[in-house]
Amino acid sequence: MTDRAPQPVDRQLPTEESRDLLALVREIAQREIRPRAAEEEDSGRFPREVFTLLSESGLLGLPYDGAFGGGDQPYEVYLQVLEELAAARLTVGLGVSVHSLACHGLAGYGSKEQQSAHLPAMLGGGLLGAYCLSEPAAGSDAASLTTKAVRDGEDWIITGTKAWITHGGVADFYTVLARTGAEGPKGITAFLVPGDAQGLSAAVPEKKMGMKGSPTAQLHFDGVRVPDSRRIGEEGQGFTIALAALDAGRLGIAACAIGVAQAALDEALSYARDRKQFGHPIADFQGLRFMLADMATKIEAGRALYLAAARLRDAGKPFARQAAMAKLFCTDAAMAVTTDAVQVLGGYGYTADFPVERLMREAKVLQIVEGTNQIQRMVIARHLAGPETR
Ligand SMILES: Cc1cc2nc3c(=O)[nH]c(=O)nc-3n(C[C@H](O)[C@H](O)[C@H](O)COP(=O)(O)OP(=O)(O)OC[C@H]3O[C@@H](n4cnc5c(N)ncnc54)[C@H](O)[C@@H]3O)c2cc1C
């Protein structure tokens, strides 16, 4: 692996404050995150202390209201922070994105009392969140979820199993979507469940292809009792809350994908300048030069696409179609770029001596989470052509 830090990306940032913020993030990434990434991903160690440090540095609540402990940053800044974190280690970048997703419901739909009671600890008080929508039999068709919440006086009793939960078993709070009414999207309600709730337990984490430092686990809700004061939004509003969070979350995945792709390109460039064959650095050969040029172009195009969607969101305009496009394009780009980076390194690219094989394994998951790329295409097509009539 190359020890030198990658060149900073040439970024468009709106304020002096945001430029300082990105410099701080790069510093933390180079000092605390990047040097340990390979070893801890290999051993599957979750870097909980990094999230504590990020919280203490004001980096876990960036796009949220400063009145509740957030960072008051526009999405175009928050996403570039995510990109830098993911370039250092996807487990951290994606972890911050998932935490932000878990805060979205309460920040957007909670009452002022709920927000005052919970948000400061969630956004800047060291807590870590998780988002529980998927179930073993309800993945892409999330509206068919069956985890139940039944009213019992002033409380709700939640029973069922959630699947694939990032931070499952290590989170301090869970935003949980559960069925409180009829079948379909209108019978779903959102709840904020504390991590130490009685009856809540996590299975052994999944054995994954990559991102092994990020625990992904099933969560069992065995009669978990939560007061009605922890219901987010109205009864039956849960699916709307879940989808709104995912629109924003998809931009986070897009930014993480560009971070992973940029890290792979940086490694490929560094190697191609050093490695000699036929008496020349391999970076001299047109076959590789064109490949590197295509990789860089995909990254710049992806960054421009997620930033365009972010700026729509920051301006209060609809951005769901562009968010789906950004998620689709950036994650496909990351898969292509990381695969090409392995090719640039030749045999060494296929070994764990260099990070590109890990980056390739990590890129794959981004085409699956928060709506697979098939689902993104369905979302985009619905915006273009309206709902399917069959
Ligand atoms: C590492 C990891 C972390 C995750 N973290 C979380 C989390 O924190 N919270 C959470 O709630 N979920 C999480 N997920 C779940 C993730 O969102 C789901 O895996 C994803 O939505 C797909 O669901 P599924 O795995 O059940 O696949 P399925 O829905 O069974 O899909 C299987 C295949 O069929 C395709 N497909 C399905 N329906 C259609 C259709 N109508 N048209 C065309 N193709 C279709 C899919 O694209 C896919 O290729 C995580 C998953 C992973 C792997």
Q: Is the CB of 372 under 6 A from ligand 1?
A: yes
**Average pLDDT over every residue of 42-56:** 97
Q: Is the CB of 365 under 6 A from ligand 1?
A: yes
Q: Which residues of 354-386 are buried (b: 16+ CB within 10 A; e: fewer)?
A: bbbbbbbbbbbbbbebbbbbebbeebbeeeeee
Q: Is the pTM of this model over 0.85?
A: yes
What is the distance in A from the centroid of ligand 1 to the CA of 367?
A: 9
**Average pLDDT over every residue of 102-130:** 97
Look at residue 135 and give its three-state secondary structure.
strand
Q: Is the CB of 362 under 6 A from ligand 1?
A: no
Q: Chain centroid to CA 306: how far? A: 13
- Ligand 1 atom at minimal distance to the Cα of residue 140: 29
- Ligand 1 atom at minimal distance to the Cα of residue 206: 1
Q: Enumerate the β-bridge partners of residue 221.
A: 160, 200
Q: Quick one: 319 exposed, middle or buried, by C-beta within 10 A (0-12, 13-18, 19+)?
A: buried
End-to-end CA distance of the chain: 52
Q: Is the CB of 97 under 6 A from ligand 1?
A: no
> pLDDT-based confidence at 5, cuts 50/70/90?
low
Q: Quick one: 63 exposed, middle or buried, by C-beta within 10 A (0-12, 13-18, 19+)?
A: buried
Q: Which helix (H) or strand (E) holds 219?
A: strand 216-227
User: What's the CA gap between 296 and 337, in Å, rounded?
Assistant: 8
Look at residue 387 and give its three-state secondary structure.
coil
The answer to whether residues 80 and 11 touch, using CB atoms and an 8 Å cutoff, is yes
What is the distance in A from the centroid of ligand 1 to the CA of 98?
A: 15
Beta strand pairing status for 155-166 and 148-152? antiparallel
User: What's the CA gap between 261 and 299, in Å, rounded?
Assistant: 7
Tens of pLDDT, residues 218-267: 999 999 999 999 999 999 999 999 999 999 999 999 999 999 999 999 99
What is the distance in A from the centroid of ligand 1 to the CA of 138?
A: 8
The answer to whether residues 123 and 165 touch, using CB atoms and an 8 Å cutoff, is no
The predicted pLDDT at position 4 comes to 54
- Ligand 1 atom at minimal distance to the Cα of residue 378: 42
Residue of 194, 203, 201, 202 lying closest to 225 (CA atoms): 194
* DSSP state for residue 138 in the 8-state scheme: B
Residue of 223, 211, 239, 217 lying closest to 171 (CA atoms): 217
* DSSP state for residue 186 in the 8-state scheme: G
Tens of pLDDT, residues 327-352: 999 999 999 999 999 999 999 999 99
Q: Which amino acid is at 360?
A: M
The predicted pLDDT at position 157 comes to 98
**Average pLDDT over every residue of 62-84:** 97
Q: Is the CB of 92 under 6 A from ligand 1?
A: no
